[in-house]
């Protein structure tokens, strides 16, 4: 006799009601909702604890920028505390000197730039045929708004001293944290190996190293690119005899830390100043200089300097800047791109741990194999094994 076929056993009574594709979709939706909820709570905590979180993030950026200097000093057989102290002193000197140069340039040419901008805006409004469109009318409306919201403005003025004090305190705390991050990175790695589960410690260490590597690459590359852009644009403006060339060059340097958005704003200001003081022809030449420098940055400097460390689509960068501005204002805009780069590196390591390292194809060549080779080299220096002597950069070597 032929045996009767039996129905396949199901794991739950409702399993037969939904196809397998629907169950998988529901499971992934649940995972996405859980990740979104965890991310929202993390962002809320960072906003509520911004007094402590902001110095930590600034210290991470400074550590990424200064870690090569510390590594060289430690390679000279200096004490780790002395090397970290000298590196932090260099940070104070460089930041103070750059702030003085930028501030003096803006102070010397700031009034001239504002006058030129006012004249250019009035010229544009006149050519557009806007009736009674002058800055005096705008100022009158601004005074009405200020009178309407006077209480808010007064409270802002009263809290100005406390804001300055908080900023100074955050800067000092960030400097101290930079010192400890540089000196005690091997200790942080040892703590990670002590508290993490045995099998998870190497993966966590690689994720931390990958995230720090992204921050380090962003800070070094952006600073170098900002310096080159500022020098090139300032030289071009000096040749074209545009007023306030040094101040505009300083704005280009500062704006370079906001990718794409900062270059657009600083370039627009340079063109408007040239239009007001030197005429339409010089404004076109100024636009050509700005566009040429941006093409140099996009096609040569960024692929050459940042392609091995930070690889993000421009749309992702712009969305990150917008999200950072909505969460924490100017500070959020400055921190958004490096933190997004670090998060991208961590996700890459998570995927690599889940599916295993990909075999590079011969056509991939330099695009993917170059950075992967360096990651493997870094792993042999103490970032991938269980010994944990490198940590987030390995300054203890």
Containing H/E element for 206? helix 201-239
Neighbour-count burial of 328, counting CB atoms closer than 10 A to its CB (0-12 exposed, 13-18 middle, 19+ buried): buried
H-only helix segments in 159-200: 160-183, 185-195
Q: What is the pLDDT of residue 359?
A: 52
Local structure of residue 51 (DSSP, 8 states)? H
Query: Does pLDDT of 129 surpass 50?
Result: yes
The gap between the terminal CA atoms of the chain, to the nearest Å, is 77
Q: Which two tokens stand for residue 206?
A: 């690689």
Query: Does pLDDT of 379 surpass 80?
Result: no
- Cβ(258)–Cβ(334) under 8 Å? yes
68 or 243: whose pLDDT is higher?
A: 68
Query: Does pLDDT of 276 surpass 80?
Result: no
Q: What is the pLDDT of residue 35?
A: 87
Per-residue pLDDT tens for 66-82? 888 898 998 888 888 99
The DSSP-derived string for 280-292 is: HHHHHHHHHHHHH
Local structure of residue 299 (DSSP, 8 states)? I
- Cβ(271)–Cβ(293) under 8 Å? no
Query: Does pLDDT of 309 surpass 80?
Result: no
Q: What is the pLDDT of residue 255?
A: 82
Q: What separation in angstroms does the CA of 282 have from each of 64, 121, 212, 237, 289?
A: 40, 17, 44, 10, 10
Query: Does pLDDT of 341 surpass 50?
Result: yes
Q: What share of the chain is helix, strand, coil (3-state, %, to 5)?
A: 80, 0, 20
Nearest to 64 by CA among 350, 373, 306: 306
Query: Does pLDDT of 384 surpass 70?
Result: no
Q: What is the pLDDT of residue 11?
A: 52
Q: For 360, how many CA atoms within 13 A lie in the half-sphere containing its CB?
A: 12
pLDDT over 70 for what percent of the chain? Answer: 70
Rounded to the nearest 10°, the torsion over CA 7, 10, 13, 14 is: -110
Which residue bears the tokens 């090569």? 68
101 or 234: whose pLDDT is higher?
A: 234
Q: What is the pLDDT of residue 316?
A: 81
Local structure of residue 9 (DSSP, 8 states)? P
- Cβ(387)–Cβ(192) under 8 Å? no
Nearest to 391 by CA among 184, 177, 209: 209
Residue range 87-116: average pLDDT? Answer: 76
Q: What separation in angstroms does the CA of 3 have from each of 6, 9, 152, 263?
A: 9, 17, 85, 77
Q: Taking the CA atoms of the chain, what radius of gyration do you get in angstroms? A: 27
Q: What separation in angstroms does the CA of 329 have from each of 50, 267, 361?
A: 12, 22, 43
Mean per-residue pLDDT of the chain: 74
**Separation of alpha carbons 251 and 226, rounded Å:** 10
Residue range 162-186: average pLDDT? Answer: 85
Q: What is the pLDDT of residue 146?
A: 47
pLDDT over 90 for what percent of the chain? Answer: 7
The DSSP-derived string for 84-151 is: HHHHHHHHHHHHHHHHHHHHHHHHHHHHHHHHHHHHHHHHHHHHHT-TT--HHHHHHHHHHHHHHTHH
Neighbour-count burial of 377, counting CB atoms closer than 10 A to its CB (0-12 exposed, 13-18 middle, 19+ buried): exposed
**Separation of alpha carbons 13 and 117, rounded Å:** 72
């Amino acid at each position: 006799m032929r045996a009767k076929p039996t129905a396949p056993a199901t794991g739950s009574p409702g399993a037969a009601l939904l196809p397998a594709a629907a169950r998988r979709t529901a499971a992934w939706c649940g995972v996405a909702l859980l990740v979104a909820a965890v991310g929202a709570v993390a962002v809320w905590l960072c906003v509520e604890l911004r007094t402590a979180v902001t110095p930590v993030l600034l210290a991470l950026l400074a550590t990424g920028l200064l870690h090569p200097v510390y590594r060289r000093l430690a390679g000279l057989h200096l004490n780790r505390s002395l090397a970290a102290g000298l590196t932090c002193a260099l940070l104070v000197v460089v930041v103070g000197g750059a702030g003085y140069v930028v501030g003096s340039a803006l102070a010397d040419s700031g009034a001239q730039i504002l006058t030129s901008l006012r004249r250019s805006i009035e010229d544009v409004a006149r050519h557009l045929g806007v009736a009674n469109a002058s800055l005096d009318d705008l100022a009158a409306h601004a005074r009405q708004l200020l009178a309407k919201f006077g209480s808010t403005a007064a409270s802002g003025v009263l809290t100005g001293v406390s804001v300055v004090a908080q900023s100074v305190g955050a800067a000092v705390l960030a400097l101290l944290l930079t010192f400890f991050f540089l000196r005690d990175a091997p200790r942080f790695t040892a703590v990670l190996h002590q508290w993490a589960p045995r099998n998870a410690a190497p993966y966590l260490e690689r994720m931390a190293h990958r995230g720090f590597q992204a921050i380090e690459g962003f800070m070094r590359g952006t600073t170098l690119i900002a310096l080159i852009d500022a020098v090139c644009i300032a030289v071009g403006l000096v040749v074209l005899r545009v007023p306030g060339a040094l101040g505009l060059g300083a704005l280009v340097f500062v704006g370079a830390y906001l990718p794409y958005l900062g270059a657009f704003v600083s370039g627009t200001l340079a063109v408007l100043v040239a239009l007001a003081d030197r005429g339409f022809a010089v404004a076109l030449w100024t636009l050509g200089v700005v566009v040429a420098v941006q093409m140099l940055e996009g096609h040569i400097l960024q692929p050459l300097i940042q392609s091995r460390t930070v690889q993000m689509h421009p749309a992702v960068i712009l969305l990150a800047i917008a999200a950072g501005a909505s969460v924490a204002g100017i500070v959020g805009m400055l921190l958004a791109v490096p933190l997004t780069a670090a998060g991208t590196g961590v996700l890459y390591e998570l995927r690599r741990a889940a599916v295993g390292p990909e075999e590079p194809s011969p056509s991939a060549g330099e695009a993917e194999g170059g950075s992967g080779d360096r990651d493997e080299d870094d792993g042999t220096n103490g970032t991938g094994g269980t010994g944990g002597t490198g940590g987030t950069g390995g300054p203890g070597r």
